[in-house]
Amino acid sequence: MLQTRLRRPAATLGSAMAALAAGGLVALSFAGCGLVAPGPVDTVGEVDFETPLAIPPLAESHVDAEGTRVFALEAQAGTTEFAPGVASETWGFDGGYLGPTLVADRGERVRVDLTNSLDEATTVHWHGMHLPAAMDGGPHQMIAPGGSFAPEWIVDQPAATLWYHPHPHGETESHVAKGLAGMFLLHDDAERSLGLPEEYGVDDIPVIVQDAGFSAEGVREDTQRGYAGGLGDELLVNGTRGPYLDISTELVRLRLLNASPARTYAFAWSDGRPVELIGTDGGLLEASVALDQVRLSPGERAEVLLRVAPGERVVLQSRMTAEIAGLEPVVASMNGGVDAFDVLEVRAGDELAPAASVPARLATIEDFDPAEVVTTRTFELGDSFEINGEAMDMDRIDETVTVDTLERWVVENSNAVPHSFHVHDVQFRIATIDGAAPPPELAGWKDTIFAEPETSYELLMRFDDYADPSTPYMYHCHLLWHEDQGMMGQFAVVEPGQRATMSEGPHHEH
């Protein structure tokens, strides 16, 4: 836990408006709403790493008579002691906070028997998973209190670090912040043949990072809200305050998940060693990339390797700057863009099991051929929580996609404020950023991007299958308050010549 209670200073949005106007930037449309934006915070050197890192349990499963791997999850209310003897009201899957880690292999048919024991409706969305729209767990698959749902699909994508979380329209930030989230890990033969760390909880470690606010007594409380959304002044890792991780092998694989509603992180090591990135949202990169820091916006994942010597200690930190965030300094200071955190202390044992060297080539990623693009669509991210000038309408299909086609989606953030962009069903490739090729760390499979201000992203994606004219997928900003305010749209995948059976909006063809 924190040795000293840290409370960030508050900055009024009105004063920030004046600063933005003085800089010639776009005015924030919500400036007169009376919100109070959080000021900068820095916990580096202030965290007493006194609590062992909790490792979410592996979800139990069985294979039924039809060969389907069956899991079960129950969304439930409970309490969690983030400080010893001090209970906070929380939600979780199969427990008081967060949920177990599901694991499956490529090619398996899986089913998850979901039960909602909460007093309000929720959903479970399989973030990053390729699956039918009716199984996706978006806002059209609500589970009523006391109700159940049993999505079933065949895992048909490369090994990857995915996750699950609620997706009720207008309530996603609240449900996720209360603790409804967990990991879903996929494996395949190619990944297993590489000799990467793979013993869950020993050398293959889930690292679910969330920010939160706490009272002086240690009770979790609401966070202050900037334009990005709610921003806490402390971090939880797998639900643990001030966590340390004891390791017994010289090489560990950390699966980083930004499960925060609004905060973007810049993960780095305290001693300045490079961060060895081997995978992003949709799976392994072709080769590892050494970076000064790994930037993750809400919903994004990264797999990194850490090699240590006996007895060594090193701290995973997040050290954001306005430059890393791509934000003007005043906007960054009000939206977590200059905050610094101690995240997790890694402690190597005096004797470590040896580990093999990492292969130079991790995966083969086939490039899309731009000549095969049949449709180009543009998505303008507005500063008033709209996409292409429209807020989310559950009864409107915004885009209609023909199955088994390659599309180019151009995502433009023309404002001075932060956004992100997540697409359900598919993993995409970033073709260009402002017309230039993406850096190596963004060259793999992605389902979520941080959309820097005044920047354009060209994404290529193929919709191989799962045509369903009556059930849509979502695309949206994954800053969850933005999503809840309406920064989301719907697309349907249909057979050639078919139309969506819900109402189609004005942007369904480009």
> Which pLDDT tens digit goes with each residue over 305-328?
999 999 999 999 999 999 999 999
Of 2-11, 84-93, 415-424, the poorest mean pLDDT is in 2-11
Distance between CA atoms of residues 135 and 112, nearest Å: 10
pLDDT for the residue 418: 95
Distance between CA atoms of residues 155 and 189, nearest Å: 13
The mean pLDDT value for 179-183 works out to: 98
| 506 confidence band (pLDDT: 50, 70, 90) | low
Domain count, the chain: 3
- Percentage of the chain modeled with pLDDT above 70: 92
Q: What is the pTM of this model?
A: 0.93
Q: Six-digit token pair at 258?
A: 């930004």
In terms of domains, do 111 and 129 share one?
A: yes
- Percentage of the chain modeled with pLDDT above 90: 89
**CATH code assigned at 74:** 2.60.40.420
In terms of domains, do 222 and 339 share one?
A: yes
Q: Check whether 9 has a pLDDT greater than 70.
A: no
Mean pLDDT for the chain? 92
In terms of domains, do 89 and 137 share one?
A: yes
Q: Check whether 31 has a pLDDT greater than 50.
A: no
CB within 8 A of 65, min separation 6: which ones? none
The mean pLDDT value for 66-77 works out to: 98
Of 5-14, 40-49, 158-167, 452-461, the poorest mean pLDDT is in 5-14
Q: Check whether 14 has a pLDDT greater than 50.
A: no
In terms of domains, do 374 and 324 share one?
A: no
Q: How many residues does the chain have?
A: 510
In a domain, residue 488? The reply is yes
pLDDT for the residue 15: 36
Distance between CA atoms of residues 128 and 443, nearest Å: 16
The mean pLDDT value for 337-351 works out to: 98
Structural domain including 150 reads 56-192
The mean pLDDT value for 30-53 works out to: 79
Q: Check whether 20 has a pLDDT greater than 50.
A: no
Of 223-227, 278-282, 375-379, the poorest mean pLDDT is in 223-227
Of 31-35, 71-75, 224-228, the poorest mean pLDDT is in 31-35
In terms of domains, do 484 and 423 share one?
A: yes
| 383 confidence band (pLDDT: 50, 70, 90) | confident
In a domain, residue 332? The reply is yes
pLDDT for the residue 5: 31
Domain end (from 173, 192, 211): 192
In a domain, residue 48? The reply is no
Q: Other C-beta atoms within 10 Å of 34: how many?
A: 9
Q: Other C-beta atoms within 10 Å of 84: how many?
A: 9
pLDDT for the residue 39: 79
The mean pLDDT value for 219-231 works out to: 93
**HSE-up of 507 (CA within 13 Å, CB side)?**
18
Q: Check whether 32 has a pLDDT greater than 80.
A: no
| 502 confidence band (pLDDT: 50, 70, 90) | confident
The phi-psi region of residue 82 (left if phi > 0; otherwise alpha if psi is between -120 and 50; otherwise beta) is alpha
In a domain, residue 269? The reply is yes
The mean pLDDT value for 359-368 works out to: 96
Q: Which H or E element spans position 191?
A: helix 189-192
CB within 8 A of 370, min separation 6: which ones? 408, 431, 460
Distance between CA atoms of residues 309 and 3, nearest Å: 28
Q: Six-digit token pair at 278?
A: 């081997």
In terms of domains, do 338 and 208 share one?
A: yes
In terms of domains, do 215 and 343 share one?
A: yes
Question: Which pLDDT tens digit goes with each residue over 391-447?
Answer: 999 999 999 999 999 999 999 999 999 999 999 999 999 999 999 999 999 999 999
